[in-house]
Each structure stands twice: as structure tokens, then as C-alpha cells.
Amino acid sequence: MKVLELNNVHKVYNTTHIEVHAVNGVNLDFEEGEFAAIVGPSGSGKTTLLNMIGGLDMPTEGKIVVNSTDLSTLKSSAIIDFRMRNIGFVFQSYNLIPVLTAKENVEFIMNLQKWPRKKKDARTMELLKAVGLADRIDSRPAQLSGGQQQRVAVARALASKPRFILADEPTANLDTKSTETLLDIMEKLNREENITFIFSTHDARVMKKARRVITLEDGKVVSDETR
């Protein structure tokens, strides 16, 4: 089932009278349960494309349809709500809330969605177990290693059972062992929960794991391989 469609998507930035074409006519479709990587050199438009898919940025031209909803038709408040219900984010620098524990960070989106306590506790424990941090639920981000923090971030992204996860360079700050652990966890969750994962990366280890690799250059798709 198709969960995401990008039709002739362009993004142009105007920086002091110079137009920068960050994304230049991208057409892509994603099926439910995909484990895809968007790769390319720095400045190729990976993060911009991911931001537009997540509704954080709007295309200057073209259409992005997520679960039959055209994002450009939504008001900004509706987009935030749409993101909360459909999209999970994993960031390069983890971006956990430093004053909250691992458990509280994972619960955060469920709290925003007003989940009942029992259901919320069960889901939090399920996810923290899945990412191998059941024994660190009361640790704050500063008490966790980079790899552990990113695993908490993945658990947070998955908490409200979104349709897909957008991960922007999730392994950029991790060592090899942490990267492998994280990728194994994400792949396992992808299979078990059938959630679509889309990464932007130039990490070869991620590319190796991905079942689809889309290569961007100068804002254009230059290759799209499914393995």
C-alpha cells in the first residue's frame, strides 16, 4: 500500500538575491513497511527532502501526499497534529528533552495524544525493552551514552505507532557498535510493526542495511535501487 507520494517536488531558497534549488523536481513513491535510505553528498538536498516529507518545510512547487492527504492543503496547526499522529522523527543529535528521564521522553508524544496511563506505560516498557534499555528507564539523557540516547529517540519516534519514521543522519554521531545495534533494532521494529523507515544518510553501514537506496545529487534523484 502506498503511504507517501512525491510529485515533481521543488524547493528553492532565496538567499541574498541568489536562488538555490535544494530539491529539483523529485518524484518518489513509498510503500508501507519500506526500509529506505536517501543518500547523497552534503548539500544534495537529503535533509530538505526529509523536512518536506515531514511537513516541517513546504515545497515551492509540487505535491507531497501522505496517506492520501496533500500536506499543502493543511493549515500549520493541522500539520503539527498530522505529524504527531503519522510521523516519527529521529534526529542526528538525538534531541531528547534533557530534564526528562528515558521513560518520560518516550511517553512525551503519548502524553500529547492523551493516552490512558496503563496503555501508555505498557507501550513505553515494550519499546524500551525493544531498544534494550528496560533497565535505564529512569536515566536522564546525560546519564546515557550517545548510542543509548539514539535508541531512546527511536523508541520515542515509534511510541504513538506512526505510519512512518523519518530519520535524519541517525548514525552520524555513533560508533560502529552502537550503529549496528541501532540499525538492528530499527530493522526489527520495521519488520515487527510494519512501520516505514526513511533515512537520510551518507553512512555506508546504513546503506548496506537499507532495502531501498535513493541517491540524490544537486536536488535530483539520480538512482533509486530496491534490493
Please report, as ranges, the residues that interact with another protein according to CB under 8 A.
51, 54, 56-57, 76-77, 80-81, 83-85, 88-89, 91, 93, 95, 97-100, 108-109, 111-113, 156-157, 160
DSSP of 101-162, one letter per residue? -HHHHHHHHHHHTT--HHHHHHHHHHHHHHTT-GGGTT--GGGS-HHHHHHHHHHHHHTT--
CB of 70 to another protein, least distance (A): 19
Q: Closest CB to another protein among 189 and 213?
A: 189
Other Cβ atoms less than 10 A from the Cβ of 15: the count is: 7
- Residue 51 Cβ vs another protein, minimum distance, rounded to whole Å: 5
Looking at the Cβ atoms of 2 and 161, the one nearer to another protein is 161
Please, which residue, 83 or 209, has the CB nearer to another protein? 83
Close Cβ partners of 94 (under 8 Å, ≥ 6 residues apart):
141, 146, 149, 150, 152, 153, 173
The least CB distance from residue 122 to another protein, in Å, is: 18
Supply 148's cell numbers.
543509548
Compare residues 40 and 88 and give the one whose CB is closer to another protein: 88
Least distance to another protein, CB of residue 156, Å? 7
